[in-house]
């Protein structure tokens, strides 16, 4: 078990960071136009809208929530001294988790039930969506089973993650963590490895590029339903 913990929480983080950074830089330099989500909106739009909106808004909220806990742990702990505040944070995070789960399920069902989408779906797409689904389910389970996650994230996980970046990994607290939390952490590092090789790479460009790109519209001059049959 000690060897497994050492691999998952010391070796794997550095492997994932190295692959993520080198893979992302290499892909951007040599194949930057491959950074695309390969939109399937032309194939099916209604389920895409509901699934994509729910998933993206939910995951963005969760991402920045984790980021704040990582960057400002003392501030989060101090803020949570008031019961009402921590209940609001926990409730909002749980709703965001459910919203993200709804979104990813809609997107997966959409791919499973539409023959045209299955033809343009790769093995990497299924792998990424499977890991994302597992991560979301684990996150919701952890939120229900181990309450006040914003506080213990700031006091336990934030120091661990900072120790990784300072090249002085401290995993004592992680060794004693529940199995579900360990799987959740390991799943994040696995996703980090896969980002440069998947469509998830487009998320690295979205916040910057889309801020000033020209406005675009798709105008249908023909019968859309007839064409998409």
Which is more confident, 13 or 31?
Answer: 13
CATH number at residue 61: 1.20.950.20
Tell me how far apart the terminal alpha carbons of the chain are, to the nearest angstrom: 55
Rg, Å, the chain Cα set: 20
Does position 39 have pLDDT exceeding 60, yes or no? no
pTM for the model stands at 0.81
Total number of domains in the chain? 1
pLDDT tens string 132-167 = 999 999 999 999 999 899 999 999 999 999 999 999
Q: Is residue 210 classed as helix, strand or coil in its secondary structure?
A: helix
- The candidate with the shortest Cα–Cα distance to 227, out of 48, 42, 47, 45, is 42
Does position 211 have pLDDT exceeding 80, yes or no? no
Query: DSSP H helical segments within the chain, as ranges?
Result: 2-6, 12-31, 46-71, 73-79, 83-113, 115-119, 123-145, 149-152, 158-165, 172-175, 179-194, 206-212, 224-227
Which is more confident, 211 or 198?
Answer: 198
* Cβ-based neighbours of 5, under 8 Å, separated by 6 or more: 171, 174, 175, 182
- Residue 102's domain spans which residues? 2-228
Chain position carrying tokens 């049959």: 229
Distances (CA, A) of 116 to 42, 110, 113, 120: 10, 10, 9, 7
Does position 215 have pLDDT exceeding 50, yes or no? no
């Amino acid at each position: 078990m000690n060897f497994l913990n050492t691999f998952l929480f010391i070796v794997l983080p550095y492997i994932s960071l190295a692959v993520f950074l080198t893979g992302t830089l290499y892909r951007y330099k040599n194949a930057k136009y491959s950074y695309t989500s390969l939109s399937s909106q032309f194939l099916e739009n209604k389920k895409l809208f509901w699934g994509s909106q729910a998933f993206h808004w939910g995951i963005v909220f969760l991402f920045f929530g984790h980021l704040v806990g990582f960057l400002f742990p003392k501030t989060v702990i101090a803020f949570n001294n008031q019961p009402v505040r921590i209940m609001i944070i926990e409730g909002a995070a749980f709703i965001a988790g459910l919203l993200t789960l709804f979104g990813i399920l809609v997107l997966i069902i959409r791919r499973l039930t539409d023959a045209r989408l299955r033809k343009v779906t790769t093995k990497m797409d299924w792998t990424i969506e499977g890991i994302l689904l597992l991560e979301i389910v684990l996150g919701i389970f952890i939120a229900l089973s181990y309450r006040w996650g914003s506080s213990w994230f700031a006091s336990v996980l934030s120091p661990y993650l900072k120790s990784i970046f300072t090249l002085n990994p401290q995993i004592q607290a992680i060794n004693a963590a529940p199995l579900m939390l360990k799987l959740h952490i390991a799943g994040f590092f696995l996703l980090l490895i896969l980002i440069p090789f998947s469509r998830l790479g487009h998320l690295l460009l979205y916040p910057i590029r889309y801020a000033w790109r020209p406005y675009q519209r798709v105008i249908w001059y023909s019968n859309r339903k007839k064409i998409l049959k």
